[in-house]
């Protein structure tokens, strides 16, 4: 038992290699600049490893884009200017929160459409079921029921 626990712990330790992108340490003039840098690199998607933001990605391009953002912050560009710069080159795809436009409408509204569809189906099914649970009895069957109930009372 003890052996098994030990083995389990060892296995866990062996497999849980700490996965962390090596982000260059950067020095900032103000903490506010650092804050902006950190939030910007989290908001932007890496185009090489598409399910990572450029903060987490080790890709060369992500490194270059981090450098670009750093330089723009130091130059005094606003967050919006930096985001516009990226969108002008790579499109809305770089944004983890793309703006609501005709082309991205389905992306934003889609989940709610599915939810509404699911609710409608659920309501229809529930209604059908509740109707089905009380099957109507014919005249003769009702008479039979009454008779049975009556005979029960007499006992």
Q: DSSP letters along 90-153, please? A: H-GGGBSS----TTTHHHHHHHHHHHHHHHHHHHHHHHHHHHHTSPPPPHHHHHHHHHHHHHHH
Q: Binding to other proteins (CB under 8 A): which residues in 48-107?
A: 48, 50, 60-61, 64-65, 68, 87-91, 93
**Site mask, other proteins, residues 2-41, x = CB under 8 A?**
----------------------------------------
List, in sequence order, every residue forming a beta bridge with 95; answer none if it has no partner. Answer: 44
Q: Which is nearer to other proteins, 88 or 149 (CB)?
A: 88
Contact region with other proteins (CB under 8 A), list: 25-33, 44-52, 75-83, 137-145:
44-52
Q: How far is the CB of 47 from other proteins (least distance, A)?
A: 4
Nearer to other proteins, 32 or 64 (CB): 64
Whose Cβ is closer to other proteins: residue 47's or residue 83's?
A: 47
Name every residue whose Cβ is closer than 8 Å to that of residue 41 and which is 6 or more positions away in sequence.
23, 53, 54, 55, 65, 66, 69
How far is Cα 57 from Cα 44, in angstroms, rounded to an integer?
A: 11
Pick from 47, 55, 82, 83 the residue near other proteins by CB under 8 A: 47
Q: How many residues bind other proteins (CB under 8 A)?
A: 14
Q: Give the separation between CA 37 and CA 29, rounded to whole angstroms.
A: 12
Mask for 133-152, x = binds other proteins (CB under 8 A): --------------------
Residue 137 to residue 82: CA distance in whole angstroms:
74
Residues engaged in binding other proteins (CB under 8 A): 47-48, 50, 60-61, 64-65, 68, 87-91, 93
């Amino acid at each position: 038992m003890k052996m098994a626990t030990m083995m389990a712990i060892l296995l866990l330790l062996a497999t849980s290699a700490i996965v962390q992108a090596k982000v260059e340490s950067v020095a900032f003039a103000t903490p506010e600049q650092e804050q902006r840098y950190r939030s910007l690199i989290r908001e932007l998607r890496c185009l090489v490893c598409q399910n990572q933001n450029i903060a987490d990605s080790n890709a060369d391009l992500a490194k270059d884009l981090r450098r670009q953002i750093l330089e723009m912050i130091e130059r005094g560009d606003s967050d919006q200017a930096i985001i516009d710069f990226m969108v002008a080159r790579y499109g809305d795809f770089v944004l983890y929160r793309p703006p609501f436009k005709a082309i991205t409408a389905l992306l934003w509204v889609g989940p709610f459409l599915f939810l509404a569809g699911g609710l409608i189906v659920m309501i229809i099914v529930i209604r059908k079921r509740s109707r089905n649970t009380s099957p109507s009895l014919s005249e003769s069957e009702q008479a039979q029921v009454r008779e049975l109930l009556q005979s029960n009372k007499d006992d």
